[in-house]
Structure 1
Amino acid sequence: MNILTFDIEEWFHILDNESTKTEKDWHQYPERIHQNMDRLFALLEDNNVKATFFCLGWVAEKYPDVIKEIAKRGYHIGSHSNLHPLVYELSPEKFEEDLRISLDQLEQAIGEKVTSYRAPGFSITENALWSFEILAKHGITHDASVFPAARSHGGLPILDTPQPFLLKYNGIELKEFPINYHAALGQKLIFSGGGYFRILPYPLIKKLFSSGKYNMTYFHPRDFDPDQPIIPELSAIRKFKSYVGLKGAFKKLDNLIKDFKFVDLLTADDQIDWDKAKIVDLSNFKQTVKPE
């Protein structure tokens, strides 16, 4: 099972950088989302493949035509937050406010309930498990926020589960679609999206996709835009992560879509026998809640 997903945000929605962190700074950067989305739409339609688009509420408010076009073309839409914050930096109250606004903006744009979510930067960590309760409270049934390995934005290495599973927490239940990995020499190799996809050679990516029964992708429009400006304030390592492999990424994606069969999140959900799925209950896991 190969699931194709995109996180719909602008090219400057880069984490770990003060000059792009908050909405008050975003007006200074040029808009590139329309041309990047048009390119992705053409690729998907040429290959007759569907995908899930996790969208920022901010995009729905500023560019509602983008969200409406995604829906018009028959693609599944989920929330990617409103203002692209790291979950573990928020209090539960601030997280709930951001989620509520994102859902309102997206649902106004497409005229239907949004029930899927992915956290920016996969930033639901061991100290932000409370966010799962808030997601369920607001009608989220499908989550794709779990990164079952350590990473710069957190990750959840305690969840050593690179397959879809039922996540339970304090009485709620979510269908969880985590990022997958390839285990080798005691390490977890991530390869199916973002900078990992851009930096790895395609023959290796193809081999890794072929070796597993479940692959969850996560791409951004900026991953395929070699002409985007370089933000000067980025650290050297952040520049590398954000701009490495941009020139060849679109061709890689084209090859990937042609070499493998992909479905969106809802189609994958229909194909899973959830009665036989692994159940992970985190109710007794101790965590520290960020104060208001």
Structure 2
Amino acid sequence: MNASAQRNALTIDVEDYFQVSAFAPHIARGDWPRLECRVEANVERILRLLDDQGIHATFFTLGWIAERYPAMLRRIAAAGHEVASHGHAHLRASQQSRLEFLHDVVQSKTILEQLTGQPVLGYRAPSFSIGAANLWAFDVLREAGYRYSSSIYPIRHDHYGMPDAPRFAWRPRGMDGVLELPVSTARLGRHNFPAGGGGYFRLLPYPLSRWLLRRINSRDGQAGIFYFHPWELDPGQPRPAGLSRKTRFRHYLNLGRMEARLARLTSDFAWDRMDRIFLEGA
């Protein structure tokens, strides 16, 4: 039974294990096509979980993945889920020029729309790589036809983050610009605490994650935004050599417990797609 009448947004970043930014020094992009892909089987597990719970979600999907698994993408859309863009080749927005970024987000949007026959309204930058230094990216997203983004994480992190950014929906480039929808944080003291999934959800005890999301719903009166990756349900994935201890800890911690935790999370709260929660009536 859902503990809250407040709908929260459930989001999945559709990429494979070898595309994680922390693996970039160890796995060359040119090797991607020959590596074992596990994303299709993992997405099928997610689709079954969501179907069992009667939940619709938003799948931020790489164009690179969609090109190789078009049937998977069509199954996602046919099940009533929103398909949104995660860029084409998992390139950080902060490492691209304006023209390169435009090409990436247009290419991804075109591929996803052609495969699903549905408009793609949302974008999430790989590794939450939009911040204070590249807010121009929102002008490019608007030019490319996107209506919302979920690309700024208002926390301090060694790889990303804009801790002074608003915690809830805002328009970085003015009222006519793209709507930014940050992944959820809870305000504890003077700091934002991650409350929206990813590795933090695998690290923290489940009751704490549940408490944080309930705090956002009740104290802030806001919808939460939660995210995870298909590879996070896959403890059997290949393990590249040479990873640092910190990278191994972040990536592999509690993978075997993730599916059961997600089942609890989806049962404890009400969930829906990003576009239905934040764009309807906007």
Q: Does 1:162 align with 2:167?
A: yes
Report the alpha carbon displacement of residue 114 of structure 1 after superposing the two structures with TM.
1.1
- Residue by residue, what CA displacement relative to the aligned partner does 1:191-237 show, whole Å, maximum 9, x if unpaired? 32110111111111111111112311011101111111112132211
Aligned partner of 1:250 among 253, 259, 262: 259
Aligned partner of 2:158 among 142, 146, 152: 152
In 2, Cα distance between equivalents of 1:116 and 1:30: 29
Q: Which stretches of structure 1, 4 residues or longer, exceed 4 Å deviation after superposition?
A: 19-22
Native 8 Å contact 2:135 2:172 kept in 1: no
Report the alpha carbon displacement of residue 172 of structure 1 after superposing the two structures with TM.
4.4
In 2, Cα distance between equivalents of 1:232 and 1:20: 8
Q: Does 1:89 align with 2:95?
A: yes
Report the alpha carbon displacement of residue 146 of structure 1 after superposing the two structures with TM.
1.6
Counterpart of 2:135 in structure 1: which amino acid?
A: L
Q: Does 1:206 align with 2:215?
A: no
Report the alpha carbon displacement of residue 14 of structure 1 after superposing the two structures with TM.
1.1
Report the alpha carbon displacement of residue 270 of structure 1 after superposing the two structures with TM.
4.9
In 2, Cα distance between equivalents of 1:84 and 1:34: 17
Counterpart of 2:167 in structure 1: which amino acid?
A: P
Aligned twin of 1:284: none
In 2, Cα distance between equivalents of 1:206 and 1:150: 21
Question: Pairwise mapping of residues 72-87 of structure 1 onto structure 2 (< 5 A)?
Answer: 72-87=78-93
**TM-score, reference length from structure 2:** 0.91
Aligned twin of 2:32: 26
Change (3 A) 1:148 1:65: same
Aligned twin of 2:197: 193
Native 8 Å contact 2:139 2:173 kept in 1: no
Counterpart of 1:255 in structure 2: which amino acid?
A: R
Native 8 Å contact 2:18 2:27 kept in 1: no
Q: Does 1:138 align with 2:144?
A: yes
Q: Does 1:173 align with 2:182?
A: no
Of 21-30 and 207-216, the range deviating more from structure 2: 21-30
Of 123-132 and 185-194, the range deviating more from structure 2: 185-194
Native 8 Å contact 1:54 1:80 kept in 2: yes
In 2, Cα distance between equivalents of 1:135 and 1:71: 22
Change (3 A) 1:21 1:142: farther
Q: Does 1:13 align with 2:22?
A: no
Question: What percent of counterpart residues are identical?
Answer: 32
Gaps of 5+ in 2: 1-6, 218-222
Native 8 Å contact 1:9 1:55 kept in 2: yes
Number of residue equivalences: 271
In 2, Cα distance between equivalents of 1:2 and 1:260: 7
In 1, Cα distance between equivalents of 2:263 and 2:42: 15
Of 78-87 and 230-239, the range deviating more from structure 2: 230-239
Native 8 Å contact 1:180 1:192 kept in 2: yes
Report the alpha carbon displacement of residue 250 of structure 1 after superposing the two structures with TM.
0.8
Question: Pairwise mapping of residues 113-132 of structure 1 onto structure 2 (< 5 A)?
Answer: 113-132=119-138
Gaps of 5+ in 1: 275-292
RMSD of aligned residue pairs (Cα, Å): 1.7
In 2, Cα distance between equivalents of 1:132 and 1:248: 36
In 1, Cα distance between equivalents of 2:278 and 2:187: 25
